[in-house]
Structure formats: C-alpha cells, structure tokens
Amino acid sequence: MKTDDKKKHVVSYENLSAEILAIFNEKYPRGFGDYLPDLQKYGPYTNPVSGKEIPAFYAVTIETDTDVYLVKIKVKIDDAEDIERWLEGEEEA
C-alpha cells in the first residue's frame, strides 16, 4: 500500500497504543538519541474548521502496513532552538 493511501494519525508519544509503541521502540531502541535526527517541526497552524491556532510541535513518523502515525514528542521551549541548531549541524552532538 502506498503511503498516500494509508490512514493518517497524529498522536502524542504518551498516548501510543502498545502495538505502535512496540514499533516505535523497534525503530528507536535507544530513545532520544536515536530519533533526534528524524525529529521534524510542524506548525503553527490555524485549524480550518474552528479557526483555533494550533501551536507548533515536534514529531517523528511511524508507518505500519495500513497507517502512518505522526508521533508528537515533547520538546521544552528552551531546548527547541538548540535542537534545531543540532539538526542543522551547527553544534556538536
């Protein structure tokens, strides 16, 4: 199944089902150090239905045979700029 045909979900890491958590842990067995290079910033956005502002968040992608999960990862505001600089290769790991 192509990625475009898969059902898409946005879920916080804390709310992952056991099945998706197992896939996450398989993809990122050492945790933060493993997924940091894949961390992407999304937003901020305005919800087209409600008009509410959705704040920016950081997430990684997990795929199954039928679904794509955007897993939100909590990043402290104070650390976001450091993470972006690290991702751009401006700072040593």
What is the full DSSP assignment across 4-38? GGSEEEEEEGGG--HHHHHHHHHHSTTTHHHHGGG
In tens digits, the chain (93 residues) has pLDDT values of: 676 889 999 999 999 999 999 999 999 888 877 788 888 988 898 988 999 998 889 999 999 999 999 999 987 655 667 777 777 776 554
Q: Which of 93, 87, 89, 91 is nearest to 40 (CA)?
A: 87
Which residues lie across from 40 on neighbouring strands? Answer: 59
Strand 7-12 to 67-73 pairing? parallel
pTM score, whole prediction: 0.71
